[in-house]
Amino acid sequence: MKQLTSQQENTLKVLDAKLRDYFESDRSGHDFDHVLRVVRMSQSLTSDDANLFVVTITAYLHEIFDDKLQLPFNSVEEVAQKFDLDFEGYEEQIEQDIRSIGFKGGFDSKPSRTLEAKYVSDADLLDAMGAIGIARAFYYAGSKGLPFHDSRLDGVIAENYDEYRNLTRNAIAHFDEKLLKLVHVIETDEGRLVAKKRHEILSSYYDAFYSEIKGS
Ligand code: ADP
């Protein structure tokens, strides 16, 4: 049901206030505004068949086990306890949903997702697409000291998960290995509508980028 009780709204307000402190220092594109965009997008995609409370908590917490962030949480139950919050018995589903999300270069096979996890996953992928997705890709590459385009690295793209995380390559290679594929990875009809527009932005940017590189 696409509605929250006032107690659930209060839980989410406290979660928002307490969680944001843990994201203050991120400079890799996983700042708290990314989390907020995923929360808002997940909520707007969610149909009446899904549990909006579970979707929203999952969206807030979707980065907490990411090895890049090193947050001090090992389980969703730990988050509920630390922040003194009532997740109404959904801790286990939320934990499994979070662990089923994440593109990881498309190299990691994921367990099948619940409807709630599909909405959050789509919202997370949509944030890697469109104008913001382009900004995040160049920002991430810059944070890793990777060039946006060095012609000696032309054609170098990641072929496995280790390379996906560690290979020296151009920022624009990320379009080939991930961003331009995302439109086919989106799982919900609601997400596909938004993805179509964002894919067009990615695709026309990519074409313009290479036409400028060629000097045409
Ligand atoms: P995932 O693990 O699901 O592929 P991340 O959480 O690592 O994604 O990605 C965070 C942001 O940084 C996303 O917008 C993603 O597209 C971007 N990103 C990840 N790896 C790279 C890379 N090698 N070059 C450019 N951008 C990247």
Q: Letter for the amino acid at 211?
A: S
- pLDDT at residue 190 in the model: 97
HSE, CB side, 13 Å, CA atoms: give it for residue 41.
Answer: 27
Please tell me whether residue 18 adopts helix, strand or coil conformation. Answer: helix
Residue-wise pLDDT tens digits, 19-61: 998 887 666 667 899 999 999 999 999 999 999 999 999 999 9
Query: Which stretches within 30-83 are classed as H helix?
Result: 32-45, 52-61, 76-82
User: At residue 68, does pLDDT exceed 80?
Assistant: no
Please tell me whether residue 136 adopts helix, strand or coil conformation. Answer: helix
d(Cα 92, Cα 99) in Å, to the nearest integer?
Answer: 11
What is the rounded radius of gyration, in angstroms, for the C-alpha atoms of the chain?
A: 18
Confidence of residue 112 (pLDDT cuts 50, 70, 90): confident
Ligand 1 contact via 140 beta carbon (within 6 Å): yes
Closest ligand 1 atom to residue 30 Cα is 10
Phi, psi of 15 (to 5 degrees): -60, -45
Q: Pull the structure tokens for residue 96.
A: 């499994």
Residue-wise pLDDT tens digits, 134-149: 999 999 999 999 999 9
For a substitution probing ligand 1, which of 140, 153, 182 has the most ligand atoms within 8 Å of its CB?
A: 140
Ligand 1 contact via 133 beta carbon (within 6 Å): yes
